[in-house]
Amino acid sequence: MSTVFNLPVYGAGILLAAAAALTLYGQPDLDQKWGFMAAEYGARLENREVYVDPGELLQRMNDDYIELIIFDLREERDWNIFHLVDSERVSINDLPAQRDRLRNLSELSVVVLVSNDEILSTRAWKHMMALAKPNVYILEGGINHWLNVYGVKHEEQDDHAAASLDRPDGSLRHPFKYALGARHAAAQPDEHHVPQREYTEKVRLLKKIARAGGCG
Amino acid sequence: MAPYDLAGTLGVTGSYLVYLGIGFGFGFILESSGFGDGRKLAGQFYFSDLSVLKVIFTAIVVAMLLIFWSTALGLLDYDDILVNETWLWPGIVGGLIMGVGFVVGGYCPGTSLVSVATLKIDGMFYVLGLFVGVLAFNETIEHLDAFWRSSYLGRFTLPELFELETGVVVFLLICLAIVMFIGFGWIQQLIYGKKDPE
Amino acid sequence: MNKLSENVKYWNPYVGGVLLGILLFLSFYVAGHGLGASGGINRIAVAVEDMVVPEHVDKSPYLAPLAGGDIDPLNNWIVLEVAGVMLGGFVSGLLRGRVRLQTYRGPQITPRTRWLFAFAGGVLMGYGARMARGCTSGQALSGGAVLSVGSWAFMFAVFAGGYALAWFVRRLWQPGA
């Protein structure tokens, strides 16, 4: 009788030990989770498949068919100086809070991540893939490159010298005269008055995988 | 990382075969555990038979450990699996009603299917009742719509609620299960004076 | 019909629990979600209703997403799973000689009484499962395993409801006093 009684006790002990070990081992954070996914999705970064040219982003900003969401990952100070019209400022640490929204995006949704260079936006891209695998892209060259292309001379202090992209450090290297946020001309370039750019189209609309589940 | 796109990989028919198989396992385990018998199930509420408690909580604990060890090791994507969204009060009220239905009818929907499959007439009447019940709900819920859609908390998990790590929550739930097993066993012994053979 | 002697033929509940837990995990791993039952019942009920009064189904905001227009409510994983549950239960019962046309009931009541209360219990369950958006399989087991707050609240409510009513319906189940 005593041996029969011991079995559930051993079982309970094993389960508790497994749970204790689980607590010590911990659940993966977003960077670690990306580590598990990198083999499958990392190529998209290496092959530059998800980096979109400023010209393509401009075209998408004027595309009524899609639902464009621009996440600006930068600090508030840079945001106040200049940001793209209709973009949303989201700190990288606040991305998990966007999880449910990202998972429920329509098939017509396109998310573009923006930072001064590509450092922050690329890390955010990895986090977003770990969170929700949405249809997400990165602005190539970041805001610095965007302003090289679409910046307006008289709004910048040094007469709109092109910012160097060789040694990106995540800083905004276009000194503006005034912090006008999205009210700068370059925040919403008029596509009919800026030079046409040639680029490889990267943005595609993805077919949503129907997620089954739910008993009710 | 799991989960994978089942229909995409196996085709719709293939995925349906998988679901059939999963259901088969479910029904087989339920029947083998005696849950095709309403008396055994109802016994839970009289402390004469604690199988319902043991099966449910053991299953949850085992599944929890397997799931969260898999997510920890990068084998399973926790963000990709379905976590039932919380509508707090409809869930509680519905649960209370179901509890009453459980002790009155002797089955829950899953076990009633097993009962019908083994030709138990009480199970058949129960399933008939199920159909009437869902019909009644579907046709009358418009009047309670505001309530049914109330207290929506979205995908809300216990670690988020208690601001504890997942592993800690799992550990505490196992402790809870153990306490319940022992506690209910004592009550059983108190009422019936016999030691639980398990 | 000694209840204790029948218990010997059934699996130890801890064994059943472990196996069920493994199955539940596999379901999440392979399909990304857990088990279910009441959803399948609902879909079958809606399918029948759609055959009888399709225009009504099309207009109801609760039914149209499931069966409005050309949508087939039976074209869903949970219907297949429900079919599997019945198959699995049948095979298990067959292997052990438990497939028999009979009525399981407490010793104090007649089969007819049992049928009445089984029906009543089913009605309550069907209604409650829709209200709670799941049942013990879908909410308690599956939602519980992935730590959903609503599922755990639901589970405790089910136990509470059952225990609260148990004394009042004890004649359905208890041996004569």
A16, part of any domain:
no
A200, part of any domain:
no
Report the residue of chain A nearest C36, measured CA to CA. Answer: A215
Which pLDDT band holds residue A125 (cuts at 50, 70, 90)? very high
The rounded distance, in Å, linking the Cα atoms of C81 and C86 is 9
DSSP H/E element including A113: strand A109-114
C137, part of any domain:
yes
Report the residue of chain B nearest C6, measured CA to CA. Answer: B34
Average pLDDT over residues A18-29: 92
Which value does ipTM take for this structure? 0.93
Please check whether residue B128 touches C, CB under 8 A.
yes
- Give C94 to chain B, closest Cα distance, Å: 8
| Average model confidence (pLDDT) across chain A | 87
pLDDT, residue A185, reads 84
Structure tokens at C151: 């599922």
pLDDT, residue B152, reads 93
C-beta of residue A130 within 8 angstroms of C-beta of residue A98:
no
A31, part of any domain:
no
A156, part of any domain:
yes
CA A216 to chain centroid: 34
pLDDT, tens only, A42-51: 999 999 999 9
The rounded distance, in Å, linking the Cα atoms of A84 and A182 is 6
C-beta of residue C172 within 8 angstroms of C-beta of residue C117:
yes
% pLDDT > 90, chain A: 52
pLDDT, tens only, A109-124: 999 999 999 999 999 9
pLDDT, residue C4, reads 45
Structure tokens at A211: 């997620």
Q: Of B52, B38, B182, nearest to C14 (Cα)?
A: B52
Q: How many domains does chain A have?
A: 1
A212, part of any domain:
no
pLDDT, residue C8, reads 55
pLDDT, tens only, A129-157: 999 889 999 999 999 999 888 887 777 76
**B168 contacts on A by Cβ (under 8 Å):** 23
CB contact under 8 A, C92 and B161: no
pTM of the predicted protein model: 0.89
> Does A73 have pLDDT greater than 50?
yes
Rounded to whole angstroms, what are the CA distances from C37 to A194, B40, B74, C172?
60, 20, 30, 25
Residues 6+ apart with CB under 8 A from A12: B174, B178
Please check whether residue C174 touches B, CB under 8 A.
yes
User: Among residues 100-119 of chain C, which lie with CB inside 8 Å of chain A?
Assistant: none
User: Among residues 25-64 of chain B, which lie with CB inside 8 Å of chain C?
Assistant: 25-34, 36-40, 42-46, 48-51, 54-64
**B74 contacts on A by Cβ (under 8 Å):** 28, 32-33, 35-36
Instruction: Read off the DSSP letter of residue B73.
Output: T
Torsion of CA A208, A214, B1, B6, to 10 degrees: -70
Please check whether residue B110 touches C, CB under 8 A.
yes
C38, part of any domain:
no
Q: Of B7, B177, B22, B159, nearest to B83 (Cα)?
A: B159
| pLDDT tens, N- to C-terminus, chain B (198 residues) | 888 888 888 888 999 999 999 999 999 999 999 999 999 999 999 999 999 999 999 999 999 999 999 999 999 988 888 999 999 999 999 999 999 999 999 999 999 999 999 999 999 999 999 999 999 999 999 899 999 999 999 889 999 999 999 999 999 999 999 999 999 999 999 988 865 554
Which among B9, B113, B195 is the top mutation candidate for probing chain C, defined by the most C β-carbons within 10 Å of its own β-carbon? B113
C-beta of residue B51 within 8 angstroms of C-beta of residue A13:
no
Report the residue of chain A nearest B156, measured CA to CA. Answer: A100
Structure tokens at A73: 């990952």
Nearest to C33 among A8, A11, A213 (CB): A213
pLDDT, residue A160, reads 61
Rounded to 10 deg, the angle between the A2-25 and B51-72 helix axes is 30
Q: How many domains does chain C have?
A: 1
Nearest to B110 among C98, C137, C145 (CB): C137
Nearest to C99 among B42, B119, B133 (CB): B119
Please check whether residue B167 touches A, CB under 8 A.
yes
- Give B39 to chain C, closest Cα distance, Å: 7
Q: Domain with A109 in it: what CATH number?
A: 3.40.250.10
Nearest to C137 among A211, A212, A215 (CB): A215
Please check whether residue A211 touches C, CB under 8 A.
yes
Range of the domain at A66: 52-187
pLDDT, tens only, C83-142: 999 999 999 999 999 999 999 988 989 999 999 999 999 999 999 999 999 999 889 999
Average pLDDT over residues A82-109: 91
pLDDT, tens only, C51-91: 999 889 888 888 888 888 888 899 999 999 999 999 999 99
First and final CA of chain C: distance in angstroms?
A: 17
pLDDT, residue A104, reads 85
Which among B19, B47, B69, B157 is the top mutation candidate for probing chain C, defined by the most C β-carbons within 10 Å of its own β-carbon? B19
Please check whether residue C52 touches B, CB under 8 A.
no
Which among B61, B87, B88, B138 is the top mutation candidate for probing chain C, defined by the most C β-carbons within 10 Å of its own β-carbon? B138
- Give A197 to chain B, closest Cα distance, Å: 38
pLDDT, residue A214, reads 61
> Does A159 have pLDDT greater than 80?
no
CB contact under 8 A, B110 and C158: no
- What amino acid is encoded at A92 in this protein? I
C177, part of any domain:
yes
Range of the domain at C155: 105-177
Please check whether residue B198 touches C, CB under 8 A.
yes
Q: Strands A109-114 and A67-72, how do they pair?
A: parallel
The rounded distance, in Å, linking the Cα atoms of B66 and B80 is 16
pLDDT, tens only, C6-37: 445 899 999 999 999 999 999 999 999 999 99
The rounded distance, in Å, linking the Cα atoms of C81 and C99 is 21
- Give C99 to chain B, closest Cα distance, Å: 4
The rounded distance, in Å, linking the Cα atoms of B44 and B111 is 14
CB contact under 8 A, B62 and A37: no
